[in-house]
């Protein structure tokens, strides 16, 4: 199998910290040819570190390199611009989350990928984490019965949160209710070097067409784990015959169903193996009285830490789609749906808790605001892809 030529565009926190170290571990699949960043220092530093060629704009990158795949890790407002440009150049795309900041810019990206017959995968990483892949197996094996409610309190929010709620509900979202509140905090810089001067808090309640519901509480400060916020999260999935609380799986013994129906907690075990000096997760397994549920790590031959597995999974998803001419696992349609849910929640909060129903059929005020502030800040309309690729999008 010939290797795919890949370039990373946007060597910032996510690109340099999470993507580049994983790309170079997938040596049998990818050949990292270039690192592109509008910030020359970043482009040069990471290109040198990983033995690739530096570029400071995507036009030069495309003019000089023969790329199969591009990994886009520029800020979210720039995703559609870089992705549309790359699609026009016939390069397959893995793009960081969210797919794009609004639905019109998302649709622009999807249309251009389709028109140019290029594959488009979005780097949604939460459901790909080993723990979540394992819990998906537990739910599929009917251990807790039909999922009724999902609580994710003080965990991830935004499109990541929506993605997890949709996955766990196993249905199509029908409506979203959002409550938002913004309060001041003393100026802080979090562990990921993000700056915060206010706490943008939200509560989301989503209904699904299979009667499941989901509740999420989130804020930027909770996500940052700063100021003591969100130090203990609640992740609970209530099913018709059991519950998952964090990693504990509660099931009730048959002979106790009529005498309290108290659930007994079972905890999965992790097996690890050594690969080139890295402690690699081999499987996660749950022994129950009547069955064993096991998730096997399909990437166990690579020296990947547990945190790197989701990123490797995304990179493999786009590689498999390109090599076999199939669709990527998550893909643009689900990414669009997760962003639609995220936008609906904000819109509901902005409209004083009005319940929003799916699908969204018109441009929301939330998106109009995003488009307007983009134009004000950058001096061109958000749909202007040519101007977008030459714009420096600073760190927030």
178 binds ligand NAD, rule: CB under 6 A: no
182 close to 201: Cβ distance less than 8 angstroms: yes
Q: Provide the H-helix boundaries in 234-330.
A: 306-324
Give the residue with the Cβ less far from ligand NAD, 369 or 392.
392
Q: What does the per-residue mask of binding to ligand NAD show for 53-92, with x meaning CB under 6 A?
A: --------------------xxxx-x--------------
For ligand NAD (CB under 6 A), the number of binding residues is 26
For residue 4, the minimal CB distance to ligand NAD (Å) is 21
Q: How far apart are the first and last CA of the chain?
A: 41
230 binds ligand NAD, rule: CB under 6 A: no
- Of 4, 6, 9, 344, the one binding ligand NAD (CB under 6 A) is 9
Which phi and psi angles does 322 have, rounded to 5°? Answer: -70, -45
Name the nearest CA neighbour of 43 among 76, 20, 14, 10: 10
| C-alpha span between 47 and 69 (Å, rounded) | 17
Q: What does the per-residue mask of binding to ligand NAD show for 17-46, with x meaning CB under 6 A?
A: -------------------xxxx--x----
182 binds ligand NAD, rule: CB under 6 A: no
Stretch that binds ligand NAD, among 7-15, 26-34, 171-179, 358-366 (CB under 6 A): 7-15
For residue 79, the minimal CB distance to ligand NAD (Å) is 6
Could you tell me which residues are beta bridge partners of residue 249? 244, 266
- Of 96, 199, 313, 347, the one binding ligand NAD (CB under 6 A) is 96
Q: Provide the H-helix boundaries in the chain.
A: 13-14, 20-23, 40-50, 58-64, 79-88, 103-115, 130-140, 158-169, 220-224, 306-324, 331-350, 365-378, 385-389
314 binds ligand NAD, rule: CB under 6 A: no
Q: Cα torsion for 12, 16, 19, 21, to the nearest 10°?
A: 180
- Of 48, 291, 354, 392, the one binding ligand NAD (CB under 6 A) is 392
134 binds ligand NAD, rule: CB under 6 A: no
319 close to 336: Cβ distance less than 8 angstroms: no
Q: What does the per-residue mask of binding to ligand NAD show for 360-389, with x meaning CB under 6 A?
A: -----------------------------x
For residue 395, the minimal CB distance to ligand NAD (Å) is 4
DSSP secondary structure code for residue 352 in this structure = T
For residue 17, the minimal CB distance to ligand NAD (Å) is 7
97 binds ligand NAD, rule: CB under 6 A: yes
For residue 232, the minimal CB distance to ligand NAD (Å) is 21
Could you tell me which residues are beta bridge partners of residue 272? 281
Give the residue with the Cβ less far from ligand NAD, 269 or 373.
373
Adjacency order of strands within the sheet including 242-245: 264-266, 248-251, 242-245, 234-239, 147-153, 213-219, 195-208, 173-189, 356-357
The footprint of ligand NAD (CB under 6 A) covers 9-15, 36-39, 42, 73-76, 78, 96-97, 123, 125, 389, 391-393, 395
């Amino acid at each position: 199998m010939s290797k795919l030529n890949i370039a990373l565009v946007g060597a910032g926190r996510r690109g340099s910290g999470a993507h580049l170290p994983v790309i170079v571990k997938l040596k049998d699949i990818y050949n990292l040819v270039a690192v592109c960043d509008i910030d020359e220092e970043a482009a040069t530093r990471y290109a040198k570190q990983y033995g690739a060629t530096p570029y400071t704009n995507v036009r030069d990158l495309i003019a000089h390199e023969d790329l199969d795949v591009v990994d886009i890790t520029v800020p979210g407002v720039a995703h559609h611009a870089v992705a549309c440009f790359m699609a026009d150049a016939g390069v397959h795309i893995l793009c960081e989350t969210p797919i794009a900041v609004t639905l019109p810019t998302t649709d622009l990206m999807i249309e251009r990928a389709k028109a140019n017959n290029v594959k488009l995968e979005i780097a949604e990483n939460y459901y790909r984490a080993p723990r979540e892949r394992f819990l998906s197996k537990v739910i599929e094996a009917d251990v807790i019965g039909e999922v009724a409610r999902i609580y994710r309190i003080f965990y991830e929010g935004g499109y990541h949160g929506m993605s997890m709620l949709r996955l766990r509900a196993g249905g199509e979202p029908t409506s979203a209710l959002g409550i938002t509140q913004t309060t001041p905090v003393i100026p802080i810089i979090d562990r990921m070097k993000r700056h915060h001067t206010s706490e943008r808090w939200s509560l989301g309640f989503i209904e699904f067409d299979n009667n499941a519901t989901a509740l999420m509480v989130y804020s930027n400060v909770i996500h940052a784990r700063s100021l003591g916020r969100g130090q203990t999260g609640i992740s609970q999935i209530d099913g018709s015959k059991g519950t998952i609380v964090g990693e504990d799986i509660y099931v009730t013994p048959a002979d106790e169903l009529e005498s309290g129906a108290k659930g007994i907690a079972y905890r999965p075990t992790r097996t690890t193996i050594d690969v080139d000096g890295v402690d690699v997760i081999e499987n996660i397994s749950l022994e129950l009285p009547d069955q064993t549920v096991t998730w096997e790590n399909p990437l166990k031959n690579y020296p990947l830490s547990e945190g790197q597995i989701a990123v490797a999974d995304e990179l493999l998803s786009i590689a498999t789609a390109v090599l076999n001419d199939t669709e990527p696992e998550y893909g643009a349609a689900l990414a669009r749906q997760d962003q639609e849910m995220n936008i609906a929640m904000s819109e509901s909060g902005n409209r004083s808790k009005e319940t929003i129903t799916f699908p969204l059929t018109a441009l929301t005020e939330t998106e109009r605001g995003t488009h307007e502030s983009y134009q004000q800040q950058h001096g061109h309309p958000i749909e202007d892809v040519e101007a977008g690729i030459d714009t420096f999008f600073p760190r927030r």
